[in-house]
A and B are shown apart, each in its own frame.
Chain A
């Protein structure tokens, strides 16, 4: 028999929390109609098995590789052009939305005046608006407006990602050491220059890493948008899936893996250069 002080006093609360989590999780599982049983149904697993067996070997005939190369380049172009447009909007918005460049904060121990805070809200609202609608929805909209093709994908990425980049940049500016830029502001420097000399040297590595990561996300998003007709690898995967050409899908998924690896290495190299 254990004496009272030999027992872990944290055991009971932990047990209680675990039970609580399970009790809360159960309605969620019921609501989302998760039934793992269908995975083990022999009929279903046979269909899936047939579909997956088509994945091997990956398609590699020259004609398909030609198409694959073109689709990959198109995907990269959509992601890059979308990001470039997004940056055009995100950088000015982040500068306007960030507290880091507040002139009134420089002589108020870092607390901006209420009216300067109020002026930042509309910009924040615009950024929230831009990123609250998923890029696929924008893509569907633009496919109707500008027709099938990569343009719809580029515009959709530009809009959603400018909202995300703008918000995160603004937060990065606020998270770095505020003293260099404040010292410059108090020495009479204009705000934009206090930013480039005081904030940017400290924030650039973080910004770069996030931007490259977003670019990687844009590559993935452009594939999803391909399914709704916005060009690139996605449209190709959609076609191959419809034709049950598993080998082609496999090749394209491998291309994907390579693209993400590439983005990862790029981010590492750029960060190392900036350290």
Chain B
């Protein structure tokens, strides 16, 4: 098993239960889509698998290791083997695309190589190849603030492809793209994962994309797994039940820590 969750639950500091009783097993090279209404816990589940969130209960095992039972150094090494594609890629606006993509290998490179990379990109051809798969090679030396939302999402995907992890987690990776581009990008991601034998888990809000590109689909609602089936076995009734009364259940707001504005003391 590449990835195992047993009875995992997440309760936020404000008492909101984001996930409860999650049991999930994913084999190496499997491709899984996670669908469900907004606020169901899709992002929390992916953050949990990316070790960017610690579960409040249950056991989690990634690549045969228990991320919360090993030391910090080992955990950082484990994290380098897992790639998370963010819905809004957190890239500094003034960073160049080439630097943002090459930053995918920071967990693997020596400190010297990484610092050298800031002075002169050490692997331009590698970054270009990752970007070319997403038809964005001409933006290699642009700054991130020059790109549109959909282009930024593709840079985020290129960074994780360049990282070449053993598990790729994708949180709404194509949400800012038009339907044609979204389908194309997802098939690129999916075929890359298949070609490299990488496990791929992606949350998607478009059910048709999930059905078209992923052999296995997981439905999540109110912090629980509702169904976990091969995509051809998912029935319309199950989908209707998954998305029922979506508007009637407002997403409980989780307080996001906003950066504080500081008053810099002058003389």
Contact = CB atoms under 8 A, between A and B. Distances in A.
A198 B261 contact: no
Contact of B107 (A171, A188, A217): A188
Interface residues of B, number: 45
A232 B100 CA distance: 46
Contacts of B108: 188
Contacts of A202: 92-94
Contact of A106 (B52, B77, B86): B52
Given A188-B79, A193-B111, A177 B50 contact: no
B210 to A, nearest CB: 24
Contacts of B77: 188
Contacts of A206: 264
B93 A183 contact: no
A54 B106 CA distance: 65
A217 B267 contact: yes
A144 to B, nearest CB: 26
Contacts of B13: 109, 111
A184 B94 contact: no
B259 A186 contact: no
Contacts of A130: none
Contact of A189 (B51, B106, B267): B106
Contacts of B146: none
A188 B50 contact: no
Nearest to A172: B262
A182 interface: yes
Contacts of B91: 180
Interface string A107-146: 1111100000000000000000000000000000000000
Interface string A64-87: 000000000000000000000000
A185 B99 CA distance: 16
Contacts, number: 113
Contacts of A194: 106
Interface string A203-219: 00010001001000100
Interface string A158-183: 00000010001001101111111011
A132 to B, nearest CB: 13
Contacts of B259: 174-178
A113 B72 CA distance: 13
A186 B51 contact: yes
B207 interface: no
A103 interface: yes
A10 to B, nearest CB: 27
Contacts of A182: 52, 90
B247 interface: no
A106 B93 CA distance: 21
A201 interface: yes
A171 B262 contact: yes
B261 to A, nearest CB: 7
B8 to A, nearest CB: 14
Given A174-B259, A182-B90, A213-B266, A197 B103 contact: yes
8 contacts: A107-B54, A111-B13, A171-B264, A178-B257, A189-B103, A190-B106, A193-B115, A196-B118
The list of the 6 closest CB pairs from A to B, nearest first, reads A188-B107, A188-B80, A179-B90, A189-B106, A201-B92, A188-B79
Interface of B: 12-13, 50-54, 72, 76-84, 86, 89-95, 99, 103-104, 106-108, 111, 114-115, 118, 163, 257, 259-262, 264-267
Interface of A: 103, 106-111, 164, 168, 171-172, 174-180, 182-190, 192-194, 196-198, 201-202, 206, 210, 213, 217, 220, 274
Given A176-B259, A197-B106, A201-B93, 14 more contacts: A103-B76, A108-B54, A109-B53, A109-B257, A180-B90, A182-B90, A187-B80, A187-B82, A187-B83, A187-B84, A196-B114, A196-B115, A196-B118, A213-B266
